[in-house]
Amino acid sequence: MKTLLKISWRNVWRNKARSIVIILAVGFGLWGGVFATALINGLLNQQFDSSITNDVSHIQIHNPEYIVDRETSMTIKAHEEISDFLSRHDKVKSFTARTRANGMFATASMTSGIEIYGIEPTQENLTTALKHNLIDGDYFESVSRNPVLIGNQLAEKHKIGAGSRIVITFQDLDNEIVSASFRVVGIYRTSNTSNDERNVYVKQADIEELLGSIGVINEIAILLHEIDDVDAFRAQLQNNFPANEIRTWYEISPDLSFITEFSGIAMMILLIIILFAMAFGLLNTMLMTIFERTRELGVLMSVGMSKLRVFSMIILETTFLVVTGSIFGSVIGSLSVYFTSKNGVDISGFGGDSLSDFGFDSIIYPTLDSLFFLNLAILVLITSVLAAIYPAYKALKLKPAEAVRKE
């Protein structure tokens, strides 16, 4: 076997130019596959993380009726007991209780429909990235009556900025219309433009004063230390507080569940396509090699080399070419992913800004895990063997007496 390995390795380099071309083709093909896969994985992971930190969290608690009708009067039952339970549980990283209402956002020039979030700023900051997303103004830090944070899209739509006065109108608990003047103290921006145009954040104390009641809690968003604990913790909450509706992130946003499942499938499909194309290139190259070496192979079989050894030699030559090219491609692919994961890849110049309409960021940070490279190595070995089988079979069909007479 050792001798066969040496012969196969030497045969690879008998035609250096062709072997180098094949190795480079395999290497750059895999580099493209690795980097494209990392881009897709990074894009989907960013969208998932953004949705969790900016919108759905890991678990949300609501009054069952609120999910259907979205009325502010439909509050969470026993919200104080729930808050006490969450504050003492070691699986909970943070949580925030919110007052929510549908309303209208008015400036001198126009009016827009909005979703109002009444929040406790400290708890909200521990649970979401709202403060981190600010691009102008401050996070309820300035002294101002009725401060409000609005999204960049809403600010541009109304042509206003930090410091502007606006009027928010909504219904109180008795379905009476309430209007109040608010001052914009901060403007935030996320990767989801539809949320930036719809969601505004005010202090919970301010909206409860306008509602005429305290302790109006419509939603509790929970962030856990480990996402794998979501199902078990949801079951525990539902058992302890059965009067409320408790939903996980994938129940609130099924598209996120699809993203996590699609991510792995998309990466494998992309790699299989690239390896499939590579296999045809190798098949063609090795067939040409067999035809060029017909006389040589005939001589080897005439002097006693078994057909099994000839078959194994062709397989090994193909495997050496593919493995060498794969190592080259994996190395440059890993380096590309490593460096771009630090600074990101800006695709806004290629229409990337439109991705924000679907909750995606125009700057992508490619990512891959170590399991991907294990799967890649297995797929590459399978591809090399499959690509070599037919050329090796053609070599076995040669008749030594005829092959040695070929020029």
Please name which of 138, 137, 97 lies closest in space to residue 118, comparing C-alpha atoms.
Answer: 97
Higher-pLDDT residue of 280, 337: 337
Q: Residue 14: which residues within 8 A CB-CB, separation 6 or more?
A: none
pLDDT at 66: 92
CA–CA distance from 207 to each of 73, 102, 201, 228 (Å)? 13, 12, 10, 35
State how beta strands 219-224 and 59-62 pair: antiparallel
Cα 271 from Cα 279, distance rounded (Å):
12
pLDDT, tens digit, 9 for 90 and up, residues 307-334: 777 778 888 888 888 888 888 888 898 8
The helix or strand, by DSSP H or E, that contains position 98, with its residue range, turns out to be strand 92-106
Q: Where are the domains of the chain?
A: 2-52+257-403, 64-243
How many H helices and E strands in the chain? 15, 12
pLDDT at 224: 96
Query: Is the confidence at residue 353, as pLDDT, over 70?
Result: no
pLDDT, tens digit, 9 for 90 and up, residues 44-73: 888 888 888 888 899 999 999 999 888 999
- Residue 31 β-bridge partners: none
pLDDT, tens digit, 9 for 90 and up, residues 242-290: 999 999 999 998 888 777 777 777 777 877 887 787 788 777 777 777 7
pLDDT at 377: 81
Place 8 in a pLDDT band, splitting at 50, 70 and 90: confident
Cα 320 from Cα 325, distance rounded (Å):
8
Higher-pLDDT residue of 115, 395: 115
Cα 29 from Cα 202, distance rounded (Å):
52
CA–CA distance from 360 to each of 42, 45, 340 (Å)? 11, 10, 18
- Residue 267 β-bridge partners: none
Query: Is the confidence at residue 225, as pLDDT, over 80?
Result: yes
Higher-pLDDT residue of 146, 30: 146
Place 221 in a pLDDT band, splitting at 50, 70 and 90: very high
